Structure 1
Amino acid sequence: MPKQYRSDVMASIHETAEGLYGAGLIDKQTMRQFDDGCLTPVTPLAPEEIKALREREGASQAVFARYLNVTTGLVSQWERGERHPQGASLKLLSLVARRGLSAVA
């Protein structure tokens, strides 16, 4: 999955920093600061937002779960607020929110 940047300028800055890191001219801690500043943050989604996203895409919980490679029960728990998506699942949901379900198909 390609990196998502805040803007084209931030993409250029981050790619330059990656080159400097690869050449050993900046350390890992500095590279992390560039990551935090340049990459698009992933924000948590409320249960209602997850359900609205799924319904917008016209998918059942089972189909939506299949696209995200999670269980139907987990999607149901997200939508009821019993559990909250984290890590890769949250990133995939953010991608679906921006580009649609076809982006992860």
Structure 2
Amino acid sequence: MSTQKTTYRSDLLGALHQGAEDLHAVGAIDEATLRRFDLTCLTPVEPLAPEAIRAIRERAQMSQSIFARALNVTTSLVSKWERGDSKPGGASLKLLSLAARKGIDAIL
């Protein structure tokens, strides 16, 4: 498992988020409230270059068709992403980002 530094939109939001995590740890706020803090404080998912998408798939040792099934998209779409003809967005981009940071097992 890789360890990646959490990035925040600003230092102030970072401190606010850390406080929310501490409150969650002692049971003062619930998981849903903590996730709302995540959405507000954490840096949004960044777009991925075609080479990065291919590297994620190759690191997972998957063919395009198996990788597509893991992401619940078509093989054609994975191919378009890797060629740069199309860009992943929404849920697909989030899943790809998770796979990049934590490995393919995080989304299977």
TM over 0.5: yes
Give 2:57's match in structure 1, choosing from 49, 54, 59.
54
Moved over 2 A (4+): 5-9, 11-16
Question: What is the alpha-carbon distance in structure 1 between the residues aligned to residue 22 and residue 71 of structure 2?
Answer: 29
Give 2:20's match in structure 1, choosing from 10, 13, 25.
13
In structure 1, the gaps of 5 or more residues are 20-30
Which residue is 1:64 aligned to?
A: 67
State the shift of 1:41 in Å: 1.7
- Would you say the 8 A contact 1:14–1:35 is kept in 2? no
What CA RMSD, in Å, does the superposition of the two structures yield over aligned residues? Answer: 2.8
Give per-residue Cα distances to partners, 1:69-98, cap 9 Å, x unaligned. Answer: 000000000000000000110000000001
Question: What is the alpha-carbon distance in structure 1 between the residues aligned to residue 22 and residue 77 of structure 2?
Answer: 36
The count of corresponding residues between Structure 1 and Structure 2 is: 87
User: Tell me, what secondary structure is at the counterpart of 1:75?
Assistant: helix
In structure 2, the gaps of 5 or more residues are 1-5, 9-13, 24-28, 30-35
State the shift of 1:6 in Å: 3.8
Establish whether residue 81 from structure 1 lines up as the match of residue 84 from structure 2.
yes
State the shift of 1:53 in Å: 0.9
